[in-house]
Amino acid sequence: MKTLYFDCFSGISGDMVIGALIDAGADPEFLVQELSKLKMEDEYKLVWKKVVKNGISSTKFDVILVDNLTEHSIAGDSGDHSHKHTHSHDDDHNHEHSHSHDDDHNHEHSHSHDDDHSHEHSHHHNHNHSHQHRSYKDIVELIQSADFSDDIKNTALKIFEKIGRAEGHIHGMPLEQVHFHEVGAVDSIIDIVGTAILIHHLEVSVIKASALPVGTGRIKIDHGIYPVPAPATLEILKEIPIEHTKIRGELTTPTGAAIAAALADEFCAFPSIMVQSIGYGTGTKNFAEHPNVLRVIIGEQ
């Protein structure tokens, strides 16, 4: 039975998941091809590259918004753990990222497109429109109308529903009326649908995950200064084990929490498994004491 284990020792975010799955052997070119079925190519460009975090070689995955190419590199869920949240409905996809370099052991290897280590897929069709405020209903229609397999559609919709219900509960409105930045942001759509694509591409039968460290401290969102975990994250993580940590900042984002909550069949310690592949997906922030990566282990159980 092919099992995938999310080892979330430094938290989890959407882009960290995609990076880890690619690092574990998923085909990023297949991801690009499948994502084109959303017919959103004019809104983003995808970049993935190898970086070294505290001595660990890992994959950094970014979604660069076409309308904002010079302003920020994705992020949405970049796993940057000192975010400024600018969402109208507690979204983790419009962060201002603070890049710190706490030690000398973090290196990014940027390579030109003619090698296998850094890849950019740019989708420019000069439409120059932005859909940063898609509603939950818009996204359901977007996914259902795309030419995905039923498995990919159902998995993506399951993750989005986790976020939508959490946002609806927090803001006191039914799921059908939820309209917000997070679910509507291009990068969160790519992270979530991309996760669904790669999970099925890897033909995983069972998904397990560790307890989720959420971090500590405060974050700024549209509604003011809020404690970590953010309201949406905490709502999503009901009945899911949360791990205490003294690290200040947001370790688990709403999108990362929703992916784990929707996909994991069990939250447990490291399972007994015959390991076949290992992947590391990195966030943006650097920590002095440990690599800021999500580890994915795939094998037979």
DSSP-assigned states of every residue in 249-290: EE-B-HHHHHHHHHH-SEE-SSPP-EEEEEEEEE-S---SSS
Collapse the DSSP code of 57 into the 3-class scheme (helix H, G, I; strand E, B; otherwise coil) and give the result: strand
Find out whether 159 and 170 touch, Cβ atoms under 8 Å.
Answer: no
Q: What is the end-to-end Cα distance of the chain in Å, rounded?
A: 6
- Looking at the 3D structure of the chain, how many domains does it have? 1
Please tell me the distance from the alpha carbon of residue 264 to that of residue 190, in angstroms, as a whole number.
20
More confident position, 242 or 94: 242
Q: Which domain holds residue 204?
A: 2-300
Amino acid residing at 31: L
Which tens digit of pLDDT belongs to each residue from 15-66?
999 999 999 999 999 999 999 999 999 999 999 999 999 999 999 999 998 8
Rg of the Cα atoms in the chain? 17
Please tell me the distance from the alpha carbon of residue 248 to that of residue 228, in angstroms, as a whole number.
9
Using the structure block, give the residue that is written with the tokens 């979604």: 63
Q: What is the pLDDT of residue 134?
A: 81
Find out whether 273 and 205 touch, Cβ atoms under 8 Å.
Answer: no
Q: Phi/psi class of residue 75: alpha, beta or left (left: φ > 0; alpha: ψ in -120 to 50)?
A: left
Q: What is the pLDDT of residue 222?
A: 66
Does pTM surpass 0.85? Answer: no
pLDDT at 127 over 90: no
Q: What average pLDDT is seen over the chain?
A: 82
Please tell me the distance from the alpha carbon of residue 117 to that of residue 6, in angstroms, as a whole number.
24
Q: What is the band of 183 on the pLDDT scale with cuts at 50, 70, 90?
A: low
Two tokens, residue 218: 């405060």
Q: What is the band of 74 on the pLDDT scale with cuts at 50, 70, 90?
A: very low
What residues contact 224, with CB distance under 8 A and at least 6 apart?
none
Two tokens, residue 262: 């929707």
**155-164, 175-184, 254-263: lowest mean pLDDT where?**
175-184
Q: Which of 128-137, 164-173, 218-227 has the highest mean pLDDT?
A: 164-173
Amino acid residing at 245: T
